[in-house]
Amino acid sequence: MIPLRTNWSAFAAIDNYRPHFFFKREWQWHVFMMPLLFPIANYYFIGLPYFTNLSFFLVGTALAFGLYWVSVFLLTLAIRWVIRHYPGMQQTIPRTIVMLLAVGTITIVLSIFYVWIYSLVPITGVTFNWSIVRPIWVTGLLFAAFLCIALGLIYSYAQWKLELQEDEQLQRQALQHQYDTLKGQLNPHFLFNALNSLSVLIGEEPKQAEEFVDKMARVYRYMLQSGRSTDRLRDGRSSIEQSELVTLQAELEFIHLYADLLQVRYNNCLRIERPAEVSNVHLNCHLLPLSLLTLVDNAVKHNSMSASKPLVISIEITPNGWLQVTNNRQQKTIRMETIRAGLVSLVAQYDLLSQEAVVVEATDTYFKVSLPLFNQKV
Number of Cα atoms under 13 Å in the Cβ half of residue 16: 5
Residue 6 Cα to chain centre, angstroms? 40
* Cα 176 from Cα 251, distance rounded (Å): 20
Q: What is the enclosing helix (H) or strand (E) of 362?
A: strand 359-362
State the alpha helices, DSSP H only, in the chain.
10-15, 24-45, 49-52, 54-85, 92-119, 130-185, 188-204, 206-226, 248-266, 280-283, 291-302, 341-353
Q: Which of 339, 316, 306 is nearest to 184 (CA)?
A: 339
Contacts with 137 (C-beta within 8 Å, 6 or more apart), sequence order: 107, 108, 111
Residue 208 CA to residue 197 CA, distance in Å, equals: 11
CA nearest to 365, candidates 296, 303, 298, 275 = 303
- Angle at Cα 177 formed by Cα 331 and Cα 89, nearest 5°? 125
Q: Answer for the pair 89, 160: CB distance below 8 angstroms, yes or no.
A: yes
pLDDT at 184: 53
Question: pTM, whole model, 2 decimals?
Answer: 0.50
In sequence order, the β-bridge partners of residue 323 are 317, 371
pLDDT in single tens digits along all 378 residues of the chain = 444 444 445 656 677 777 777 777 778 878 888 888 889 888 888 889 999 999 999 999 999 999 989 988 888 888 888 888 887 777 878 888 888 888 888 888 888 898 899 999 988 888 888 888 888 888 777 877 777 777 677 777 777 777 778 778 777 776 776 666 566 555 565 667 677 777 777 877 788 788 888 888 888 788 777 655 433 333 333 444 444 788 999 999 989 888 888 888 888 899 999 988 888 889 999 998 889 988 998 898 889 999 999 999 999 999 888 999 999 998 876 554 444 667 888 888 888 777 888 999 999 899 999 999 988 654
In three-state secondary structure terms, 68 is: helix
**CA neighbor of 261 nearest in space, from 206, 307, 312, 201:** 201
Please state, in angstroms and rounded to a whole number, the distance separating the CA atoms of residues 26 and 154: 11
